[in-house]
Amino acid sequence: MTNMGASLFAILPELVLTGAILVVILADLLLKARPGRPTAVAVLSCLGLVGSVAAIAAVPGPGAGTSAFGVMIATDGFALFFKGLVYFAAFFGVILGLMSSEIRREQYGEYAILLLCLAMGMGLLAAARNLLMLYLGLEMVSLPSYILTGFRRGDRRSSEAAVKYVIIGAASSGLMLYGFSLLYGLFGTLDLTRIGMGITRLLAGPPTGEHLALAVATLLSLAGFAYKIAAVPFHMWCPDVYEGAPTPFTAFLSVGPKAAGMAALLRFFLTAFGAPVAGAVGGFPWQVLLGILAMVTMTVGNFAALNQENVKRMLAYSSIAHAGYMMMAVAVGSGDAVRSVMLYLPIYLLMNTGAFLAVMAVRERTGSELLTAYRGLGSRSPYLAITLTVFLFSLTGIPPFAGFIGKFYLFAAVLKAGSPFFNVVAVVGVLNSVIALYYYARLVRTAFFEKAGEGEGAVALTEPSRVMLTVLAVPTLILGIYWGPLASLIERSAGMMR
């Protein structure tokens, strides 16, 4: 058992996180009703997450000897990058939860613990290289998500959203499992790499009934991923869940699980199908299928967002659209495309969490999520209005902000694919960005150019909100101008895929 230590290092982030979960549970129990309990729980949770991010650095790369867990989870740069990203998303989720009055103080411990478990699930999902691990990761993300969506007990919208989420989640899990079982039946293995070899072999031979089974299996597997990243046609849960769930959790949900799902989708298609096979005419038109899904997803998301009066709901539809933009690049599947998704997600994490934080701040003060609550926000709370504008314009993808860089790389990767089909996809993407400008700008216009109604006084920002808004807005601005370090980190990470 000489490599036992090395093997354990491969799952060090998970080990740290598990330790953190246990410590937080104990702390939450021991502190009982002390006034400082939520803060202590939050500090411990954040320390655990930061420790896990730090532990990622200690994970030996795939070249450093075999690991006992290597057959289940990848330790390549791609996996580690996404692990870090989703832990950061959970970090913001923990902090936002502490600031929100939607999470009751005596329940905050459970909220934090569930978020930590979710973080672990997301990390496993992003790194899974075995269908069993992949499915387990997916459920580890889904089950705590259902609970956290229905966290506001006694709130009808919250409960209804949770039930819808469970039903759609269970249905897509079932479809995905059926697909996996077909894959196992075809290739006799759950290992993605070996499935990839099997697919290459199968596609090289003459067409048989097994080709059909492969097509059906992939279609069904895709259902599970589409549900996790809220892509059409598995997006129906998204607006209701985003609206009904507590806002800090919505902020997290729109980013973390989406990033993990995107990572799993990329790995699934790139490892099992491989970009060259996917492009082959004799093979399956997966690229076309994903490309069409991407176009439909962004179009549905953007058009539905146009006339939403509830800002949270609008952001939900906008997040569907963003999943569509990223799926464009997933469809291309080239090295550039993978890197562009990896660049887009951290930026999306900052701007989308920021936008939801602003929604949360307005809700804390006015008790409303409707567009009308934002009237005259520019004078009622200038700082909030300005940072909200930064996040919204960044989400649109307007130049000096980070969102522009992210979108630029996405579109560049799609255009680089060179085929007429992907040119069409890119044009649809650009048109969609223009549509998106309308509803983001509408919110900005409401905030700055509409007069506040009677009795709508100043929205006083609490000090933590101000700090967090700054923490999210400053990188959104800086990354728009100086994204070199992030890009080079991604360059290094993506180079290690597999």
Partner 1 sequence: MNGSIVQVVLFYLLAALALTGACLVAFSRSIVHSAFALLGTFVGVAGLYALLAADLVAIVQVMVYVGGVLILILFAVMLTARVDEGKESNPTVGKIPGLLAMLAMAGLLVVTAVKAFGPRTVISEANPPSTVSPIGNLLLSKYVLPFEAISVLLLAVLLGAVTIASGRMRKGAGGKQEGEAPR
Binding-site size for partner 1 (CB under 8 A) equals: 48
Nearer to partner 1, 193 or 419 (CB): 193
Nearer to partner 1, 186 or 489 (CB): 186
Applying CB under 8 A, among 104, 194, 416, 498 the residue interacting with partner 1 is 104
Under rule CB under 8 A, residue 21 binds partner 1: yes
* Residues in contact with partner 1, shown as a per-residue x/- string from 126 to 145 under the rule CB under 8 A: ------xx--xx-xx--xx-
Applying CB under 8 A, among 6, 31, 68, 435 the residue interacting with partner 1 is 68
Applying CB under 8 A, among 35, 63, 205, 209 the residue interacting with partner 1 is 209
> How far, in Å, CA of 226 to CA of 297, rounded?
10
Applying CB under 8 A, among 76, 110, 336, 369 the residue interacting with partner 1 is 110
Task: Please state the closest distance from residue 147 (CB atom) to partner 1, in A.
Answer: 3
Task: Point out which span in 57-65, 113-121, 251-259, 299-307 binds partner 1 (CB under 8 A).
Answer: 113-121
* Residues in contact with partner 1, shown as a per-residue x/- string from 163 to 202 under the rule CB under 8 A: ---------------x---x--xx----------------
Task: Please state the closest distance from residue 153 (CB atom) to partner 1, in A.
Answer: 4
Under rule CB under 8 A, residue 8 binds partner 1: no
Applying CB under 8 A, among 8, 51, 197, 210 the residue interacting with partner 1 is 210
Nearer to partner 1, 112 or 361 (CB): 112
Residue 453: Cβ-neighbour burial (10 angstroms; 0-12, 13-18, 19+)? exposed
Applying CB under 8 A, among 55, 72, 95, 253 the residue interacting with partner 1 is 72
Under rule CB under 8 A, residue 124 binds partner 1: yes
Nearer to partner 1, 89 or 345 (CB): 89
Alpha-carbon torsion angle 296, 298, 300, 302, nearest 10: -160
Applying CB under 8 A, among 120, 311, 349, 384 the residue interacting with partner 1 is 120
Under rule CB under 8 A, residue 14 binds partner 1: yes
Q: Judge whether 81 and 342 are in contact, CB under 8 Å.
A: yes
Nearer to partner 1, 26 or 460 (CB): 26
Applying CB under 8 A, among 89, 113, 327, 417 the residue interacting with partner 1 is 113
Q: Which residues bind partner 1 (CB under 8 A)?
A: 11, 14, 18, 21, 25, 68-69, 71-73, 104, 107, 110, 113-114, 117-118, 120-121, 124, 132-133, 136-137, 139-140, 143-144, 146-148, 150-156, 178, 182, 185-186, 208-210, 212-213, 216
